[in-house]
Structures are given as structure tokens and as C-alpha cells.
Amino acid sequence: MNYLMVVVLGVVQGVAEFLPISSSGHLTLFQHFFGMPEPDDLFNILLHFATLIAVFVYYRRDIWEMILEFFRFFGDLFSRRAGQGEPPAARRQILLLIVATLPLFLVLPIKKYVEAVGNYPEAVSCILILTGVILFLSDRMAKGRKNARNTTLKDAVLIGVAQGFATLPGLSRSGSTIAAGMALGLDRKFAVRFSFLMSLPAVLGATILEVVDVVSEGTFDSAMLPKYLLGMVIAGVVGYFSIGLVNLLASKGKFGAFAYYCWIAGGVFLVLSILDFTLAPAV
């Protein structure tokens, strides 16, 4: 893997991780049609970790407030003040994020079947087109006003279900969860923030498990360290600005602008699938 590939993969990770265009769907289709090599496992893990850091930096105030409220809750519990009065918004947000993460556990028993959808480019192309439909409709929903104080647990569960469905290759996680939040009446900015914050437990957990696997296999190559660091910096910086772009477009009611890209990309890949086109080398 040369430095040009490192830069390209860093940019792609930073963009596709947050823009509602399905990074998994694009990776699957590019690998099928153009034989794009998949980066080594550790590099892929570190790129995801870099975009995770971008979320922490962008929403550092929200995350810090949730950390403080987490400890304040136990302080109130021991002082018997817990349950008295309306809980702070940050404390409710912690509960909402936990509830929204639970539906992902229902996907675990069928994970291999969900991933197997990636073996069918026609299906992935159609799902990418479906992502476009979801994004298009999201802009046409009435502006909601719900925030961390009045979003219900039912809302959180339904957004979590949307995240579970988004494990399908081609269905954007951010697009599905943000659109679900808007449909349930969440304020647009809060819907975006909640979507990105709810990705933290899943991505962090998966990253830790994958790092443990790589370390246990002893496959780390110290000569690759400069490339790993460069890729992480690029993915993190690009990811930070991508989060800002999504926030800007969602607040202006232009989140659906990504729908046209998904339709075009999905349509092109679907035609290529029907024509059985591929530049990938024969195995």
C-alpha cells in the first residue's frame, strides 16, 4: 500500500463515514466492479478509530457533560436525591443513547446473513437507491422540536431499529438514523447529534475487539506506522469537517441533496450489475 492509496482511503473514510452515502455499500461495489484492494485489518481499524475521535472532538462539550452527569447520577443515588425532579438533559441523553444501542444486539445472530447481502451487487445497488429515497423524504418532513429533554424512550428504540436495518450494505447508517429522528419529530440539529453520538458505543466496542484480535495474531508491521498515522490524521480531519457539513445541510433542510448522488450511483452500479461488467481481475 503506497502513500497515495493511504491518502485516498483516509479521505474516503472521513467522507463516507458521516455523509449519508453508505461507506459499506460503496466499498462492496468498488471491490466487486473494480477489484479495489481492501486495506489490511489494522489500517481499516485505525481509520475507523480516527473518525471516532472526530466525533469526540466535534461533540466534546456534549460528551463531557454526559460524563459529568454519569458521575453526578451516582452521587445523587448515594445521597438519595436520584429521581427527584426532572433529570438534566445530558443525563436523559445517556439513557436515550443506551436504549437506542440495544436493537443492534438483535442483529448479532443474523450478522453473517446481513453481510452476505454484499455478495449480490444488484441488491446493494437497489439498497443504495433506497437510501436516496429515505434522504429525499427526510427533507419533506415537518421540522420537529424534540430534544434530549422530551425525546421518548420509544423514539430512541425506533431510531435504534433504523440503525439495525442500516447494517445492510448500501443502507446509510447516518442517513437512516437522522431521517428516523426527523420523522419522529426531533429537532434537525439534535437528530444529527444524536445519530453521531449513538455511533460511539458500537464503533468503540467493535474497534477494541478488532484491535485485540490483530494484536493477538501478532501481525503488526512497525514499518507501516507512518502510513497508519498519516491515514488516521487525514480521516480524522476530513471526518470532522464532514460532520459540520451534515449539520449545516440538515439545519437548512437540504439533507436530501445527497439523495441524487445515491440515485445516480445506485443506478449506475445496477446497470453495471445487469451487464455483468467488471474490471476486477479474474480469480
- Measure the CA–CA gap between 119 and 113, rounded to whole angstroms: 10
- One-letter amino acid at 148 equals A
Domain ranges in the chain are 21-60+97-274
> 3-state DSSP call for residue 254?
coil
137 to 44, 176, 262: CA distances (angstroms): 32, 11, 13
- Among all chains, which residue has been given the C-alpha cell 420523522? 183
Considering the entire predicted model, what is its pTM? 0.86
Residue 186 is classified by DSSP as B
Q: What is the pLDDT of residue 218?
A: 65
Greatest extent of the chain over all pairs of C-alpha atoms, in Å: 69
- Burial level of 232, CB count in 10 A (0-12/13-18/19+)? buried
- Measure the CA–CA gap between 122 and 134, rounded to whole angstroms: 19
Residue 3 is classified by DSSP as H
Concatenated DSSP letters of 76-138: HHHTT-TTSSPPPHHHHHHHHHHHHHGGGGGTGGGHHHHHHGGG-HHHHHHHHHHHHHHHHHH
pLDDT one digit per residue (tens) for the chain, 283 residues: 788 888 888 888 888 888 888 877 877 787 777 766 666 767 878 888 898 899 999 999 999 999 998 888 777 767 666 556 677 888 899 999 999 999 988 988 898 898 888 888 899 999 999 999 999 998 888 788 999 999 999 999 999 999 999 989 889 989 999 999 999 999 999 999 999 999 888 778 777 777 777 767 766 667 778 888 999 999 999 999 999 999 888 888 888 888 999 999 999 999 988 888 776 554 4
**According to the 3-state scheme, what is the secondary structure of 146-176?**
ECCCCCCHHHHHHHHHHHHHCCCCCCCHHHH
Determine the length of the chain. 283
- Burial level of 223, CB count in 10 A (0-12/13-18/19+)? exposed
- Measure the CA–CA gap between 214 and 146, rounded to whole angstroms: 42
Q: What is the pLDDT of residue 270?
A: 92
- Measure the CA–CA gap between 32 and 278, rounded to whole angstroms: 7
Residue 20 is classified by DSSP as S
- One-letter amino acid at 71 equals F
- Measure the CA–CA gap between 274 and 279, rounded to whole angstroms: 15
Concatenated DSSP letters of 21-42: S-HHHHHHHHHHHH-PPPPPHH
Q: What is the pLDDT of residue 279?
A: 67
